Amino acid sequence: MPAAPLSPPFLYGTAWKEDRTASLTELALRAGFRGIDTANQRKHYFEAGVGEALAAAYRAGIATRKDLFLQTKFTYQRGQDQRLPYDPSAPLAVQVAQSLASSLEHLGTDYVDSFVLHGPSSGYGWLEPDAEVWEAMRNERDAGRARWIGVSNVAIEHLEQMQATGAEPPAFVQNRCFARSGWDRDVRAFCNTRKITYQGFSLLTANREVLEHPPFMDVAAKLNATLAQVVFNFARAIGMLPLTGTSSAEHMRQDLASLQLTLPAELARAIEAIAG
């Protein structure tokens, strides 16, 4: 079984920031984030803005490339608008290579730490196009342009079918994490037994209905922490790599500080069992 990949304890997400992408990403790096999540999907991300922030951080001596964990994604045409980072008439393997080449240019680097398939071609299974894309992503990894490869927006069926085809398992799974599904219990269990790092996003926005009830409120009061801090600390406690995309300097500071809280194991278990 391969070892789980090394990654920082928190990822800063760069979606939906448009012309504030560079300044907010630089702020996150100054605040102490060392993991950055982006995608070559202009519809939701401005990857070149992330690259501007990286360049500014290197110039200011905040971090070097080696200190950082950079993650980007390949997005099928149906998840894109007209601003494509590849030729849509080219075979998928070529689209993957073109997308990553463009990401490396945006980010001013010759490798990313993680290259993720943004979502499978179908919500219902791991199909032939996905197998083709996955092989192309492996080739990019083997050529040294990505250290690890991963998948996003997957159901347990995708992972099981992927495994049944004999495909190499992903190093990362990045999913929206709903408390009502036991915090994505099935997918997390699949990941845990295979040393796949589970990355959770929308931990706050997907779970508003549970956050304002016990045990969250009780734990937050007991730890003198915010609800967001409890969620992020809980995520770490159950082995997740959380993402935050906050635009607030104060929330950046609080999110990083959440790593220092000590959530008793029985409280982590109570939160894990809160719903679903």
Which residues of the chain form contacts with ligand NAP (CB under 6 A)?
A: 13-15, 37, 118, 152-153, 174, 201-202, 204-205, 226, 228, 243-248, 251, 254-255
Judge contact between 261 and 233, C-beta under 8 A.
yes
Judge contact between 99 and 40, C-beta under 8 A.
yes
- Shortest Cβ 110–ligand NAP spacing (Å): 22
Assigned token pair, 16: 């939906």
Residue of minimal CB distance from ligand NAP? 13
Question: Residue 207: which of 233, 227, 182, 180 has the closest Cα?
Answer: 180
- Shortest Cβ 247–ligand NAP spacing (Å): 4
Distances in whole angstroms, Cα of residue 99 to Cα of each of 43, 45, 88: 14, 14, 11
Q: 């110039």: which residue's tokens?
A: 59
> First vs last Cα of the chain: how many Å apart?
30
Judge contact between 199 and 11, C-beta under 8 A.
yes
Assigned token pair, 229: 């801090």
Assigned token pair, 127: 């199909």
Assigned token pair, 265: 């194991």
Between CA 188 and CA 179 the distance in angstroms is: 12
- Shortest Cβ 136–ligand NAP spacing (Å): 19
- Shortest Cβ 152–ligand NAP spacing (Å): 4
For ligand NAP, the closer of residues 185 and 251 by Cβ is 251
For ligand NAP, the closer of residues 83 and 142 by Cβ is 83
- Shortest Cβ 22–ligand NAP spacing (Å): 14
Question: Residue 38: which of 18, 58, 64, 8 has the closest Cα?
Answer: 18
Q: 């997957």: which residue's tokens?
A: 154
- Shortest Cβ 38–ligand NAP spacing (Å): 7
Contacts of 192 (CB under 8 A, 6+ apart): 198, 239
- Shortest Cβ 82–ligand NAP spacing (Å): 20
Assigned token pair, 88: 């849509």
